[in-house]
Structure 1
């Protein structure tokens, strides 16, 4: 182990001899000095790992010395030691990004703890996280063999996300690979589960989760009141792990009153799942009741142009047509900024709906642009890119304004997305739909083991384009590819983010209710 170099600055340094001896016995190297001026000279010539700095010294005060050191060595951790418990000193020190704050008299163990916290922190966290996951790994493996209900799948998926985010901060490739294989195994089992139970969720006899078409009635309506304006933000294509990654930013403005998961309908694609949220209907019912608003895969034109119309029909059906409601769809930076500028005008609405399309654009541009492929080469990078976008987006500005105006915030999505790795050959006629994660058409030929099949779309409330149309949904990280030009197609789409199929990432998605801080 490399020797840790400590600089200890205190005008009464002689009284701290026992502390210094204690640290030297623990193999730390301690350099001492009695003033801020002396400290600054020593720091010019020597590299230290950490500084202990007395706040109350003649000449340059501790706070002044702190500022000077930070100008020279911005990343050097400084532990402020003071007799005074005055709040303004603490605030000044913390504002200047001190590493720790100790009140005199300090005992040697406090010093040791501060050193471990600041210098060994990442190693200790890494070791603890790894050993905790190793223990949890066995439990998750056992759960995987037993899980048999939609609630248990939500719990298991949330557990996997928790560990994925914990392991993200430690540099242990082996652990990450183990988790990756556990996620793959989970998706394999989840595919079998959906194959078995999904059609039963529609027959009225089976306990079914909240799904896209029941979300509004079950979860959103109970949150709307005329006492407080509500903003419903639907971020297109948002995975559960991406929400967990930027949740801390939202927590600066809002406190969570509830968080739950719901299931996206199949196909986990925008035109099906998002229209289902706003209409409160399954796709075959939308096609039957509102042919003027619904478009099938093979029809020309935009498939999500009537969300606001669908929303109004649902409000009417639920007897809520008198709610003052406004709907906004944000598909680019300009329209986002425009809504931010006019945000105050929304406070008189009972419900403001904002559909935000950024994450979807990100996943599509990853497919089409090499630079985005580089930036989002795996799930960790994809999360990081989402957080960067969110921090600098008009959406965050909207959330900040919503907090100031006292809005309740509901944040959700229409479906998630998965990084596809493995091609599966499929053959269909000219009218087969183009999506990589699901296909609908006549006489499809496919690999049975790679897909969930719906031979009778009506059984899962999907439209049949022709009498003999069926649907297939890719499982796990599969993507569907035609045999002609196969190699080019596969290399183009492998390791891109797609949706429409059956995976934990696409189907189990967040629903969060928050109140302003």
Structure 2
């Protein structure tokens, strides 16, 4: 049986040909010629969908709709009426109808409505799987070609779009195929980065836009003309932006979505300082030694972002009035919204939101967060839930109401890790799970990406023999001592600092108010 239908219409006898047509298609149909009977029948039976005539004697269609929704708020209801009056349509839509048809209706219109409301999920799933099968071959061929950095960004964007489409699919086999292709893409991408990263930092013509170039290239030209907001959401991946975009589209149009590359390590200490300073970490340490802290120095490593940004603006002859705010607590975020009238007097307002970064770290430390975000879809869902209930959403609404241009970006992404890689180091080795810096590091060459001279990739070093070692794909570093406990604790967490599509290729969004 395709589904059980209740059809209520005071002229139900005239609809016998429609009913026979649907019965031939496999549907079971119960009928009623008034609203009261329809309400009683919906109490006693489970219906997959209900058709209601709007103009019936006694209880009207709209009154019947209200009573049925009180009994079962989730049942799809299709309103059928002779009237095209706007207020009737608005009342019906406000009553949460699933479809709206104008008499006279033909059988194919009814069938289309049934397909849309009862089987659309399966049809969409089948179509998505079929479309991805065709795309799978094309992506596979591209992965075997020599691609430049921009083509890799296009491939990653394509993979993210398919991941989100397949998320709602019931085809588990196709999801497994996709996960294998994404893993293969990450394997090839890590080889690509290992072969080309040094050249990018030395003026290679195929170099992508990177963290330290971002603001000069995409933001500074807008400064001084009108107020501008720059919102940096720490640790925001491309897929997380994609699921937030429909919510932000309530207030803004997306004028431009561009992908750029985070520098290595893909960690806040390096990537965000480089973003604001407009300099690679090695140059920051030389030009602003009082604003840079090395791995083993005491103190917060991102305490001087405002000063670095001010120096960057001055270096680029941008004499503007600026505010810088870092949100790490809910009460401060609320106060920021309350201060909006003050903020809009500035030429540039920079707001750094640390929530997504805190979410990834909390997921490592807290069992309840692990359960709430135990896989990629759940992690995205938690990001959406945070945004919907965060002061950031209210702030964006106020910015849009005031017609102020806004940019959203991030410093790096994060990756779900599940494969431990052994590494050994002395007690001065840093604690990050995706990159290590030190003098006496022991590891397997084939499992990592190594920079024996950090200055080759524009990173400072404390000791002459220091080297940087980066994990790749979905690996994380684990020490041999107490290995099993360490692996159990960190496996299936979200980490950053290494080399992967998710960590390195990140979004820059230009928004204009609606």
TM-score for both structures, normalised by structure 2 = 0.98
- Who is 1:23 aligned against? 22
Q: Deviations over 1:329-367 (max 9, x none)?
A: 000111111111212221111111000000010100111
**Per-residue deviation, 1:96:** 1.3
Q: Does 1:224 align with 2:219?
A: no
- Structure 2 unaligned runs (5+)? none
Q: Deviations over 1:195-247 (max 9, x none)?
A: 110000111243211110000000111333523x2111100011111111111
Q: Does 1:292 align with 2:290?
A: yes
Q: How does 1:84-483 map to 2 (within 5 A)?
A: 84-227=83-226, 229-320=227-318, 322-483=319-480
Q: Deviations over 1:307-337 (max 9, x none)?
A: 00001000100100x2121110000111111
Which whole-Å CA distance do the structure 2 matches of 1:243 and 1:460 have between them? 29
Moved more, 200-209 or 433-442: 200-209
Which whole-Å CA distance do the structure 1 matches of 2:149 and 2:131 have between them? 26
**Per-residue deviation, 1:3:** 4.6
Moved more, 139-148 or 184-193: 139-148
Contact 2:223 2:320 in 1 (8 A): no
Which whole-Å CA distance do the structure 1 matches of 2:142 and 2:94 have between them? 46
Contact 1:200 1:206 in 2 (8 A): no
**Per-residue deviation, 1:433:** 1.5
Distance change (3 Å), C-alpha of 1:98 and 1:137: same
Following TM superposition, the consecutive aligned residue runs of length 4 or more in structure 1 with deviations greater than 4 angstroms are none
CA RMSD across the alignment? 1.1
Which whole-Å CA distance do the structure 1 matches of 2:380 and 2:435 have between them? 24
- Who is 2:504 aligned against? 507
- Structure 1 unaligned runs (5+)? none
Q: Kindly tell me the number of residue pairs found equivalent between the two proteins.
A: 514
Which whole-Å CA distance do the structure 1 matches of 2:187 and 2:446 have between them? 10
Which whole-Å CA distance do the structure 2 matches of 1:206 and 1:102 have between them? 58
Q: How does 1:73-92 map to 2 (within 5 A)?
A: 73-92=72-91
Contact 1:418 1:506 in 2 (8 A): yes
Q: Deviations over 1:429-478 (max 9, x none)?
A: 22222111001111322111121111111111100111111111111011
Contact 1:147 1:153 in 2 (8 A): no
Moved more, 336-345 or 284-293: 336-345
Which whole-Å CA distance do the structure 1 matches of 2:250 and 2:463 have between them? 51
Contact 2:423 2:478 in 1 (8 A): yes
**Per-residue deviation, 1:171:** 2.4
Which whole-Å CA distance do the structure 2 matches of 1:409 and 1:477 have between them? 33
**Per-residue deviation, 1:487:** 1.4
**Per-residue deviation, 1:383:** 0.7
Contact 2:231 2:407 in 1 (8 A): yes
Q: Deviations over 1:235-267 (max 9, x none)?
A: 001111111111111111111000010000000
**Per-residue deviation, 1:139:** 1.4
Moved more, 413-422 or 20-29: 20-29
Which whole-Å CA distance do the structure 2 matches of 1:477 and 1:30 have between them? 53
